[in-house]
Chain A
Amino acid sequence: MPSVCGRNSSPFDRSDNVDDVNRSDGDSTSQKRRLGGDPVAMEVRQISTQIKWKSPRRCVNSSPKTSAIGTEKDSMEGIVNLQKSQKTILTNDLTAKPNWNPIDTEQVSAVKEALHVSTAPSTVVCREDEQRRVLEFCKVCIEEEKAGSLYVCGCPGTGKSLSMEKVKQQVVDWAKEAGFHPPYVLSLNCTSLTNTSEIFSKIIGENQPKKKLNGSTSPLQQLQKLCSQQQQSSCSKMMLIIADELDYLITKDRAVIHDLFLLTTLPFSRFVLIGVANAIDLADRFLPRLQSLNCKPMVVTFRAYSKDQILRILQERLTVLPYIVFQPLALELCARKVAAASGDMRKALSVCRSALEMLEAEFRESTGNMNSISQEKGSLDKQTATGPEILEVQGNNVVRVDHMAVALSKTFKSPIVETIQSLPKHQQIILCSAVKFFRGGKKDTTVGELNKSYIDICKSVLIPPVGTLEFLGMCRVLNDQGLFKLGQSREEKFKRVTLKVDESDITFALQGIRFFRACLQ
């Protein structure tokens, strides 16, 4: 099942792809597209790669004559405006994309919007294959007017819901073009149902909006009747149901999810059901009966994004901007890291955003004490055409690898060592005693035992130990911090305690303190 799109192309030979985009889909983001022509984007990227490593000489030289921040903002505003007008001229006669200015709030917010999860890109890059398969399936169903079911699975943040949105649109468009009745479309998120069986009433409400619900029979029974009897031609429209987070329909007896899928197997059913969820084996585990009926839904898997895919998606999102914001290397670092961790696109986007914020903060700081510089820089930006000044400004402006690295480490590093070091003394002693306790190869102990060992340590260094209740409170805090795991027990004293962090981590964190070093020897 080749679910991953095989195009692992480098970011730079993307022009054909972009053309694709323009042709296939011009529905929603024509406005954004206007911001930057694609050929321009290409050129600028090349330019930027050549010029990015220049040193920011200007900043160091200028005299830091500060004024009030308010006035600075005002003047900045004026400059920005000037700059913008200048910019349009520039792009007209030079076709070189101006580098962006992190102080310009408009540009910053444009970048942020481009990187936001809610911004649906015009095309879903790297998911063409999956999308095509789902679309094909729908087409076949509609063409042949037969019911069918499909199950889409994949990790969080792999573009499932987004792709389904696109597919939904495409199916309707296609049906119109090809002369079929456009199907009813019901797209719902199962988490928003207050009751699992509510889904049936939603379906029936969509199917027959005019008819009042029959009080005597349940919506499910009505649906079943509807599907098992020959219908008049009048309501022969197909119905496309996209159920996101399908696993929320799993009840104890699994009746709802079963009935839902069984609807598609009934003789006169006209439902095309697409279920979306995370679990790869949901169909196998929860729908064994369907298997026996030999109408197991087709499965489309969305694999976690690879590093190249993440990189491409990020670049795709950034092409709508008429300026360079990220160093290509920084993007690649982000892509690699995220792909290695989870392949979650949401994470990649938020890492990029936090890197951007870091740059912003840096600029705010520098403008705080170097107001005049930034003004000068603004005036420099006006004359971007003239020679090498542009280069150094740009090198300073974009999000660099170091920003990205900091953002990544903020996201992915585990803060265990710092957490342990910032704990109060007695909690550190408890950890220390736990380490000593588990040295003997034991895996777990009770709170009472741990208390004894803690008191022993305290006595050995002449620190008055805290009372039992206090001790229990501290254990709970450690549990909250994710350092301990407290089991369930009726008696507080007999709760099982296991250490959730590595012993060596604790030893490493506490070795700076002589007292603990002696203790842990």
Chain B
Amino acid sequence: GHHLTQIRGGIFPAKTLSPKIPNPTFLSLNPISLLPLQNPKLIHSPLQGKTKKSMADTTPRKLKQSLKPNPMPKNSHLSLSPGTPLQPLTPCPVRRSTRLNSASISVDLTTPQKPIEYIEKSVIYNTPKATKIEVAPTKTPTRKREKESQLYTADVTFSPVLTPDQSEFKKRKGEGERRIATRANAKNGKKRVYYKKVVYDGGEFEVGDDVYVKRREDSSSDNEDPEVEECRVCFKVGESVMIECDDCLNGFHLKCLKPPLKAVPEGDWICGFCEARKLGKVVELPQPPEGKKLVRTLREKLLSSDLWAVHIESLWKEVDGTYWFRGQWYLIPEETAAGRQPHNLKRELYLTNDFADIEMESILRHCFVTSPKDFSKANNGGDDVFLCEYKYDIMWHSFKRLADIDNAEEENEDSDSDDEDWNTPKNADSGTDEDMEYEEENATNSKSRPPSANELAANSRKGRFFGLHKIGTKKIPEHVRCHKQTELEKAKATLLLATLPKSQPCRNREMDEITAFIKGAICDDQCLGRCLYIHGVPGTGKTMSVLAVMRSLRSEVDSGRTKPYCFVEVNGLKLASPENIYRVIYEALTGHRVNWKKALHLLNERFSDGKKIGKDDDKPCILLIDELDLLVTRNQSVLYNILDWPTKPYSKLIVIGIANTMDLPEKLLPRISSRLGIQRLCFGPYNHQQLQEIISCRLKGIDAFEKQAIEFASRKVAAISGDARRALEICRRAAEIADYRLKKLTITPNSASAVKGLVGMAEVEAAIQEMFQAPHIQVMKSCSKLSKIFLTAMVHELYKTGMGETTFEKLAVTVSCFCASNGETFPGWDTLLKVGCKLGECRIILCESGARHRLQKLQLNFPSDDVAFALKDSKEIPWLAKYL
């Protein structure tokens, strides 16, 4: 196989050999590799024997490596210890910095049954070209096939569709495979053989390993698997040391950097491109030279969800001789419901509670998913190291920290070799039907879960879908890769009240004041308790400003300019009762949940008596109470207590109260307003320029609104309430109307070209109409004919008598007059009374309660002009107009 390996890393030799010299090589090799290896000297011999024959892929490199004095192979072995737990001693790959020749991996394993069993697997690439180390013990079937077809076009036997027999003799596990358990399959009458470890295609997989699994057969990007990552600047592999950016994970030659680095720096390092990107510049990565395709490593593919990572739960041989494993999926953060969060690390994965039975054919090779602790230690490892801290529940979209689950699992696996327990999935998450499903699985292998989403999941035999459906169930949520938004859609999204605007204009003065207030209280060493009362009409940005200030303070704390503090935010409306605020505050401060009486006692101890229990208790505390007026109880003791604490010497408490009413302090008991202090801040209603600025600030960069339209909306709102929420809502609604109109137009193709996607005055007008026009006009416009006559009669009666109230009797007379003179039939008193009741229920008219008879008093609930306006141009009964 030497000439083959010249071409490329040499995973093929094993494969090319396999059909021809199938069993002998493998069978003979593995025993060697399983020799007891206590003596470090012995390491070389099996290794080399192996490399020469079966693992020809590694040979050239090895040889080259051996030219240099390299102590690697010796160091690489972990000492053998009988009774090692099943969890493989995962190589401690160093995460970054030096992808030098230091990492080496060996997986040693012994079991109680066969104490001297040893499987050595250490593949160290030390290419002369690059110093970056890749760990690729497994060969991908896909690649095998493809390469093979390139090389031996005649060799058709290795087509994807393999008969069970063929595949059986090809897929070899070493003699050293241990039969862990057998499990009777009642339905089949045959046995399915479970293993703890399987050597498959030259790669060794055991329970607890993490592997890459290919995703799609036709995924074109799957053909390359560069062992060595290329430099992002020169696109060559080269010999020199590469460094990995901690942000984009790209590799760079030290010499290719500008300025070039001499040595790998300590700590995190971010490449110049990412730095520039963070500063808001548009960065263009250098393009690869003509004709050269940018190859992606498996890691890159995984992180762009072209591959999947799986945690092996159990391994077995099917009756037909194929090898399968049961795997627990990993997700990349983008695939969770929450999407990628700012705190996610680049190499973070989530373990899911989703399992699947997968054929071993789809395994690409090992990857290493470590706990955060191990991950931080592994600072010099290969490219396939990931970290996983949380478990993700795909049903409930919840996250759970992994540490404790993991330990429990390990213990279990150590203790029992019994097959029942061995096979029960030990996922701590209940709430899925996983457990039950597993029991039935043997029988109903094929109908486990409805296959969803991706039907193109990897499968070595097309058409025979077994557990492999599951590979396809990882649907990537819409929000990760949604279609490109139009300008209007963007506008709608940014105008949502829930959207946090990038900047908050028009409240600079107030925000400065709040900042000054808080800083004045917490910045110095001493922290003097204070209170601030913020008031203003709804929708004037009170809470938003405070929170914005707190955010900027937060960032100051992070950068070390301000001392840390705790921030507690309470909304009065969200409290079941005012007293519950103690409970909420205490929970926010300490994380303990106690009832409010206890909480009051403890808070009193903390703030009044200055008892500091925890180390955090000494931090200043900022308490933001939204809707302060809802805390006013009958004797106002809640407010008293909260506002009394800041006056105590060691409280270090700062209270910010927000409410709508301007004169709340005056309404309170004098002793409370005396403690509330004199610090007030008023948020006046916005005027139209301010509203206009707010809207255009949100819409910055989105060309969806005409300027006059925004001005119109803001003027309208400013004249009535000055409520920014309302202005935003109007604009959003206008955008919706425009979007709707646009879509309707594009359906009819001829007019599509003429459409301009801008929100104009007409849409805003329509939105304002919807928002400000009272619903009663609509009700009156759309009510029945008789109701309209009834209402007209009411108005007529009002004009005639000048009195607001009338009786039903008088009204009925008028209605009958109308009907007679206009050729309508008078419906009768009963029906008329019913109509009156209906209108009364709609609150269009006010009926005297409890009296349904002739002398019942009636009154219009709305001004008669509204009725006239609504009914004037009614089409079905045009004669109404003359009575209005």
* B-chain residues with CB within 8 Å of residue A245 when the two chains form the complex: 640, 671
A89 within 8 A of B: no
Interface flag for B529 (CB, 8 Å) = yes
Given A189-B644, A423-B685, A477-B537: A347 in contact with B674 (beta carbons within 8 A):
yes
Closest to B520 in A: A357
B679 at the interface (CB under 8 A from A): yes
Question: Is A410 a contact of B641 with CB atoms below 8 Å?
Answer: no
Contact of B718 among A157, A192, A361, A424 (CB under 8 A): A424
A364 to B, closest residue via Cβ: B516
When distances are taken between beta carbons in the complex, the residues of chain A under 8 Å from B515 are none
- The answer to whether the Cβ of A194 comes within 8 Å of any Cβ in the partner chain is yes
B535 CB, min distance to chain A CBs, angstroms: 8
What residues of chain A lie closer than 8 Å to B520, measured between beta carbons? 112, 357
Contact B720 A346 (CB under 8 A): no
CA distance A452 to B720 in the complex (A): 17
Among A262-270, A397-405, A465-473, the one that faces the other chain is A465-473
B863 lies within 8 A of A424 (CB): no
B627-647 Cβ-contact flags toward A at 8 Å (1 or 0): 000000001010011001011
Indicate if A59 sits at the interface (CB-CB under 8 A): no
How far does the alpha carbon of A467 sit from the alpha carbon of B863 in the complex, in Å?
10
A477 cross-chain contacts in B, Cβ below 8 A: 537-538, 660, 721
Residues in A with CB closer than 8 Å to B846 are 491
Binds B, one of A61-69, A115-123, A313-321: A115-123
Which parts of B745-788 form the interface with A (CB within 8 Å)?
772-774, 776
Could you tell me how many residues of chain A have their Cβ less than 8 Å away from some Cβ of chain B?
55
The residue in A117, A120, A248, A344 that gathers the most chain B C-beta atoms within 10 A of its C-beta is: A117
> Is residue A113 contacting chain B, with contact meaning CB distance below 8 A?
yes
Taking a contact as CB atoms closer than 8 A, the residue among A342, A451, A481 that contacts B662 in the complex is A481
Q: Is the CB of B128 closer than 8 A to any CB of chain A? A: no
Q: Contacts A477-B721, A480-B662 given; indicate if A191 touches B528 (C-beta within 8 A).
A: no
A422 to B685, Cβ gap below 8 A?
A: yes
B480-502 interface with A by 8 A CB criterion:
none
* B122 surroundings in chain A (CB, below 8 A): none
Supplied contacts A424-B721, A425-B718, 17 more A-B pairs, CB within 8 Å: A109-B525, A116-B529, A118-B528, A192-B641, A194-B596, A248-B637, A346-B674, A347-B678, A357-B516, A357-B520, A415-B682, A425-B719, A468-B866, A477-B721, A480-B661, A482-B663, A482-B666
Are A191 and B722 neighbours in the complex by a CB distance under 8 Å? no
Chain A residue with the shortest CB-CB distance to B717:
A424
In the complex formed, the residue of B with least CB distance to A415 is B682
Separation of A422 and B537 alpha carbons in the complex (Å): 12
Q: Which of B526, B685, B863 contacts A452 (CB 8 A)?
A: B863
Shortest CB-to-CB span from A179 to chain B, Å, is: 30
With A109-B525, A350-B679, A451-B863 known as contacts, the answer to whether A469 contacts B720 (CB < 8 A) is no
Q: Determine the residue in chain A with the shortest Cβ distance to B685.
A: A424
**Closest CB-CB distance, B268 to chain A, in whole Å?**
25
29 CB contacts below 8 A, A to B, read A109-B526, A112-B524, A113-B528, A116-B529, A155-B670, A156-B670, A156-B675, A189-B644, A194-B596, A194-B601, A346-B674, A346-B675, A350-B677, A350-B678, A354-B679, A361-B516, A419-B662, A419-B684, A422-B684, A423-B685, A424-B718, A425-B719, A468-B774, A468-B863, A477-B538, A477-B721, A480-B661, A480-B662, A481-B662
Closest beta carbon of chain B to A318's beta carbon, Å: 16
Tell me if B671 and A278 are in contact (CB < 8 A). yes
The 8 A-B residue pairs with the shortest CB-CB distance in the complex, in nearest-first order: A467-B774, A156-B674, A482-B663, A194-B597, A109-B524, A156-B671, A118-B649, A425-B719
- Cβ–Cβ < 8 Å partners of B677 in chain A: 346, 350
A477-521, CB < 8 A from B: 477, 480-482, 491, 493
**A451 nearest CB across to chain B (Å):** 7
State the CA gap A455–B864 with chains docked (Å). 12
A118-B661 contact, Cβ under 8 Å, with A424-B718, A424-B720, A474-B721 = no
A194 contacts B600, C-beta separation under 8 Å: yes
Candidates A120, A278, A347, A493; contact of B649 at CB < 8 Å: A120
A192 to B597, CA, bound (A): 9
Chain B residues, Cβ within 8 Å of A237: none
**Residue numbers in B under 8 Å from A424 (CB-CB):** 685, 718-722
- Interface centre among A108, A157, A482, by most chain B C-beta atoms within 10 angstroms, is A482
**With A192-B600, A351-B678, A455-B865 as given contacts, are A474 and B720 in contact (CB-CB < 8 Å)?**
yes
- Convert B850-877 into 0s and 1s, putting 1 for each residue whose CB lies closer than 8 angstroms to a CB of A: 0000000000011101100000000000
**B110 interface hit (Cβ, 8 Å):** no
Q: Chain B nearest CB: distance from A191 CB in Å?
A: 4
Q: B721 CB to closest chain A CB, in angstroms?
A: 6
Task: List residues of chain A with CB under 8 Å of any chain B CB.
Answer: 105, 108-109, 112-113, 116-120, 155-157, 189, 191-192, 194, 245, 248, 278, 342, 344, 346-347, 350-351, 354, 357, 361, 410-411, 415, 419, 422-427, 451-452, 455, 466-470, 473-474, 477, 480-482, 491, 493
Tell me if B648 is interfacial: C-beta within 8 Å of chain A: yes
Closest beta carbon of chain B to A347's beta carbon, Å: 6
The interface residues of chain A lying within 8 Å CB-to-CB of B649 are 118-120
List of B residues within 8 angstroms of A357 by Cβ:
516, 520
Q: Which residue of B lies closest to A493 (CB)?
A: B861
Structural contact, B529 and A410, CB atoms closer than 8 A: no
Across the interface, do A470 and B671 meet the contact criterion of CB distance under 8 Å? no
Q: Please name all residues of chain B whose beta carbon is closer than 8 Å to the beta carbon of A108 when the two chains form the complex.
A: 524
Contact residues in B for A426 (Cβ distance below 8 Å)? 719-720
Question: What CA separation (Å) do A213 and B451 show in the bound complex?
Answer: 67
- The reply to whether the CB of B5 lies closer than 8 angstroms to some CB of chain A is no
| Chain B residue at smallest Cβ distance from A483 | B662
- Of the candidates A119, A278, A410, the one whose C-beta lies within 8 Å of that of B670 is A278
CA distance A199 to B846 in the complex (A): 54
Given A423-B685, A424-B718, A482-B663: A118 touches B678 (CB 8 Å cut-off): no
Q: Quick check: B679 and A118 within 8 Å, CB to CB?
A: no
Per the bound structure, the CA–CA distance linking A443 and B669 in Å amounts to 27
> Separation in Å of the A352 CB from the closest CB of chain B?
11
Please tell me if the beta carbons of B678 and A410 are within 8 angstroms of each other in the complex. yes
Q: Could you say which residues of chain A place their CB within 8 Å of the CB of B646?
A: 118
Instruction: Kindly identify which residue among A112, A423, A474 contacts B528, using a CB–CB cutoff of 8 Å.
Output: A112
Complex-state Cα separation, A451 to B526, whole angstroms: 54
Tell me how far the C-beta of A422 lies from the nearest C-beta in chain B, rounded to whole angstroms.
Answer: 4
Least CB distance, A247 to chain B, in whole angstroms: 8
Q: Per-residue 0/1 for B827-848: is the Cβ within 8 Å of any A Cβ (1 yes, 0 no)?
A: 0000000000000000000100
Q: Give B763-818 interface residues, CB cut-off 8 Å to A.
A: 772-774, 776
Q: Bound state CA distance, A342 and B665, in angstroms?
A: 15
Shortest Cβ distance from A344 into B: residue: B674
Whether B101 is near chain A, meaning CB under 8 Å from some CB there, is: no
When the two chains form their complex, are residues B644 and A469 in contact, meaning their CB atoms are under 8 A apart? Answer: no
Query: Which of B671, B673, B861 has the most A CB atoms < 10 Å from its CB?
Result: B671
Which of B596, B608, B637, B646 has the most chain A CB atoms inside 10 A of its CB?
Answer: B637
Residues of B within 8 A of A466 (CB): 720, 772
B524 x A470 contact (CB < 8 A): no
CA distance A258 to B807 in the complex (A): 58
* B678 engages A113 (CB within 8 Å): no
| Complex Cα–Cα for A248 and B516 (A) | 36
**B residues within 8 A CB of A415?**
682
0 or 1 for each of B710-722: is its CB under 8 Å from A? (1 = yes) = 0000000011111
Contact status A482-B661, CB under 8 Å = yes
State in angstroms the CA–CA spacing of A198 and B720 once bound together: 51
Bound complex: CA A424 to CA B524 (Å): 41
In the bound complex, residues from chain B placing their C-beta under 8 Å from that of A422 are: 684-685, 687
CB <8 Å contact, B604 and A192: yes
For A244, give the chain B residue with the smallest CB separation. Answer: B644
B651 at the interface (CB under 8 A from A): yes
The docked-state distance in angstroms from the alpha carbon of A123 to that of B857 is 73
Scoring A192, A248, A411 by chain B CB atoms within 10 A of each residue's CB, the highest score goes to A192
Is the Cβ of A105 less than 8 Å from the Cβ of B661?
no
How distant is the Cα of A482 from the Cα of B666 in the complex, in angstroms?
A: 10
Q: What's the least CB distance linking B561 to chain A, in Å?
A: 10
Residues in chain A near residue B644, CB distance under 8 A: 189, 191
